[in-house]
Amino acid sequence: MWICLSALNSAFRLNADNPFITDEESIINRAVRKPDLKVRCIKVQKIRYVWDNLEGQFQKIGCLEDWLSSAKIHLKFGSGLTTEEQEIRRLICGPNTIDVEIAPIWKLLIKEVLNPFYVFQLFSVCLWFSEDYKEYAFAIIIMSIISITLTVYDLREQSVKLHRLVEAHNNITVSIYGKNAGVQELESRFLVPGDLLILMGNKVQMPCDAILIDGSCVVNEGMLTGESIPVTKTPLPKMEGSVPWRRQGEGEYKRHVLFCGTEVIQAKGARSSTAKAVVLQTGFNTAKGDLVRSILYPKPMNFKLYRDAIRFLLCLVGTATIGMIYTLCVYVLSGETPGEVVKKALDVITIAVPPALPAALTTGIMYAQRRLKKRGIFCISPQRINVCGQLNLVCFDKTGTLTRDGLDLWGVMPCDGNSFQEVHSFTSGRTLPWGPLCAAMTSCHSLILLDGTIQGDPLDLKMFEATTWEIVVSGDDFHKGVPGCAMVVKPCGTSSQVPVEGIAILHQFPFSSVLQRMTVIVQEMGGDQLVFMKGAPERVASFCQPETVPTSFVSELQIYTTQGFRVIGLAYKKLEMDHHISAFMREQVESDLIFLGLLILENRLKEETKPVLEELISARIRTVMITGDNLQTAITVARKSGMVSESQKVILIEANETTGSSSASISWKLLEEKKHIAYRNQDNYINIREEISDNSKEGSYHFALNGKSFQVITQHFSSLLPKILMNGTIFARMSPGQKSSLVEEFQKLDYFVGMCGDGANDCGALKMAHVGVSLSEQEASVASPFTSKTPNIECVPHLIKEGRAALVTSFCMFKYMALYSMIQYVGVLLLYWETNNLSNYQFLFQDLAITTIIGVTMNLNGAYPKLVPFRPAGRLISPPLLLSVILNILLSLAMQIVGFILVQRQPWYSMGMHSACTVQNDTLSKLTISPTPPVKNGTNGVFTSFENTTIWFLGTINCIIVALVFSKGKPFRQPTYKNYIFVLVLVVQLSVCLFILFADIPELYRRLDLLCTPILWRVYIVIMLSSNFIVSLVVEEAIIENRALWMTIKRCFGYQSKSQYRIWQRALANDPSWPPINQTSYSDMPGCGRGVSYSNPVFESNEDQL
């Protein structure tokens, strides 16, 4: 596709020799082909790419270039774009719209009808109509119409929902500043990357991604993160140098970005009432566009079950082909007409490959989905329910997932000089005396006043409420030295004597999970300007003057973190008032601070956490904690929750980056909990052991590390990474990106990974995992296949149980449908030998009255309430399952062949022994006593014959027997007898079949094209079926379901799992030097660096499909 700029030539007199936009290095300048002013472009999954003539490749368009530095962004886009540049960008980048068309019903209908499954059904129905098999054809048509209608309705509803979700985005009026046009209003769809947005007022929906360059904004990012806590955005600082703006400073760039789809609650300018932002990305390039694209183009599930299902169906097609060749030979030799021969041959395909198979498989997942819904677990990707049954590792976020959402303020430990004072407890009701510590608690937060209520982070709220102060917004004449619209905190009337009227918050450096701190610049009314910092104690202490940090800092911190408290450090300093606030860089402000003390908050475990983790661990499902909290707190929570048992050791891994002449290092320390030492002893809870005990092998130890160490290990010690992950249980101070990386690394080891989080910082990991479970009801749950209404981890074992039950149900249905088709296939081929066949009513009885009803009710078994310590087979093509199918096919084949041969050898077969039959019917008598082959009765080339009658009874009742044998109960599903509807169906079906067998009703026999046989022969039929049932049941229970037998066979043949984590388990079990204790390794040592990396070729080739 070509974009022509010639249309703009007349309006702006473009010169092919000059750059089209001011930035000569821009991709737009490099994309224009001269002199004909054309741009070559393509569109892939809604994203536009243009051909870079300089690089000779396609480059993404619709966003600012990544290499731009903050200084260039301020310089090039700080005063807006020219009208000419806007039009050029508009033409090349395309409109700023997220267009999701409502799919027309006719298009959805055609797409669904052209599904190979429905095409095969259409072929089957046409064939059945030609053979006058109308009843079942109509039944299949009705079922298909219902199925297609429901599917099209669901797809249409999803399309409409998605359209409504993004519709408002395209109809927003915004204000922009043009270089030569000044402030102008226009529709958001005309925005282009580089436009200067003017943000004013409250409650503004962001129509694009934009970089804040002036002022500050408070944003609700619930749409993206699932957490509707207001987030403060700060302007991108103007830093000299050519470092790309995303990588400048040590923090994450996201704190300067206003994301599309989020709501700007408040916007304030530094020197005016308006904030300014440069448009970063438009359309589907934005954060919201990316979310919509992930819904429109989901990653295909590459689960082995579905690949095996295709192979299984191909095997059935192969079997049908053999049957077709046999049929052609038999009927051609018997002199049948070509048309009849072709019909019979094609009929074999519809018998060997059951058209109802996919529908029968879907019902099991539907029932599981319905059961999950009753438990408050909602699923947007039903196919993932089967994957839940294979989970063997589950990652949990800590705060809000394992522990309660709310934090209780336990106390504060003030610092005086270089020692800690007595803990001030808030439970006593005493207010904190006035001082820098109290001032820090009142002002070092990101709370906002919205509609008269204070909103913000729960931790900030608890801290501020403990001071009993209040928040107001200053007016223009509020107080000398305090700017208008500034946030001001004031003591309440009930507060104790405070020497200041209030504190104005002049500037914020918001909290960042990467930086692990936040800082504010405040002004005491009529007093000094101060800087307050709060954050992770270790980080805060690193910015303080060493002499102000208590000598017992580390031991005191350990005392509280080992008890599971959340600890926050506080610090401050006075600020020189020579400069304007906006002129201060963060590095200048955050230096030479005075340590104030520790804020101690209690974060209790949820009641359900410990029992659920114990249940998972007893079922041999690995549990892993991934949190952004302190490492020691995480270790304590892991111990309290049972994730790490009392008898197990925790080995702390610390890795450090390359510094100066020394290369990257990694050290291992064994932590031991001491229980019988007096409280407040310096070495009370943690002791670094010098030696390792014997029980530190074989899974009796766990590794604990933080995000920084994880990053260093990934970069410099990749050969050690899989070894660490084999016993890595506690990962603390992990950023959202690191959480996703960790999940991916576990997947590379062939673990089936589940991720459970509250949606706050877990969206990436929830998307990356095989099964993501969000405990958030926000829109961000779109990123996760499962959403639990109950905000605790009880949903995880329920999901695994239902997944296992659904997986076993799928296998049961595969086996049953395969056996049903093979029973019918063998019977029909035997009758073809006599150029005979089953009649339409006989087929109808088997297909509709037996199999269809069984297919619908067999799946109703619920999940077994207890998790067992092993998983169901994950593959359809597995030895036990294949052996089960093959043995049952051979049993059915043997029974039908015996019946077929024995009936021909009965004395009454060719001699008129109608007296053996209680029914005296002329028609039957004539048929029975005829010594020559009987004539055709009715249509479809069916003969009423003793072979036909015998084969039909044997096949029909065998379908019921196989359903009972294959209907699995424990250990993954409820026992079969608890599936009352299924049991009732089997009893009724068996009763009806036995009634037909023994009730001599001429009209019934005539309708079903059956012949009356002597009572003794009917007893023989029952004996053959009973023998088949007993042998089949014994084989299934004693061999197929005998797990101990299969484990013994595996050991005898030396079979070992090829899963990567199993290979590593075996390797580490035989490694006497693992784990290393009290050692330090360096990246330049042999076997430690990147030279000896690991990879999983299977994962690498399929990672896009997982």
CA proximity to 804, closest of 671, 552, 616, 565? 616
Residue partners of 43: CB distance under 8 A and separation at least 6: 1, 49
Smallest CA-to-CA distance from 613 within 774, 797, 790, 776 is with 797
- The DSSP secondary structure of 442-495, one letter per residue, reads HHSS--EEETTEEES-HHHHHHHHTTTEEEEE--TTSSTT--TT-EEEEE-TTS
Taking the CA atoms of residue 279, residue 285, residue 286 and residue 290 in that order, the dihedral angle to the nearest 10 degrees is 180
Yes or no: say if 517 and 511 are a contact pair by the CB < 8 Å rule. Answer: yes
CA-closest candidate to residue 863, choices 972, 983, 981 = 972
| Closest of 56, 1, 7 to residue 36, by C-alpha | 7
Q: State the catalytic residue, choosing from 397, 460, 629, 758.
A: 397
Strand, coil or helix: what is 223? helix
Radius of gyration of the chain (CA): 37
Active site residue 397: yes
For the chain, first and last CA: distance in Å? 32
Identify whether 35 is preceded by a cis peptide bond (ω within 30 of 0): yes
What does the DSSP assignment read for 932-956?
Answer: SPPPB-SSTT-B--HHHHHHHHHHH
Give the pair of three-digit tokens for residue 362. 């879907």
DSSP conformational letter for 722 = H
Given a contact cutoff of 8 angstroms between Cβ atoms, the answer to whether 489 and 503 are in contact is yes
CA dihedral 647, 651, 652, 655 (to 10 degrees): -160
Strand, helix or coil at 239? coil
Cα–Cα nearest to 958, from 809, 819, 815, 853: 819
SS3 577: coil
971 prior amide bond cis, ω within 30: yes
Going from the C-alpha of 1009 to that of each of 573, 924, 956, the distances in angstroms are 100, 11, 14
- Other residues' Cβ atoms within 10 Å of the Cβ of residue 1098: 13
Q: Which helix (H) or strand (E) holds 1034?
A: helix 1015-1035
- Return phi, psi of residue 180, to 5°: -120, 5
Edge-to-edge strand ranges of the sheet holding 204-205: 204-205, 263-268, 216-220, 230-233
Distance CA 331, CA 374 (A): 55
Are the C-beta atoms of residues 496 and 482 closer than 8 Å to each other? no
Structure tokens at 1023: 């004996």
Q: Distance between CA atoms of 105 and 113, rounded to whole angstroms?
A: 12
For residue 774, give the nearest of 749, 751, 799 by alpha carbon. Answer: 799
State whether the Cα torsion 145-149-152-154 is positive or negative.
negative
Distance of CA 873 to the CA centre of its chain: 21
Encoded tokens for 227? 């957490």
Alpha carbons within 13 angstroms on the beta-carbon side of residue 671 total 23
CB contact at 8 A, 560 and 566: no
| Six-digit token string for 757 | 């989080």
Helix (H) or strand (E) holding 230: strand 230-233
3 state DSSP class of 575: coil
Dihedral of the alpha carbons of 257, 260, 265, 268, in degrees to the nearest 10: 40
> Which positions are catalytic?
397
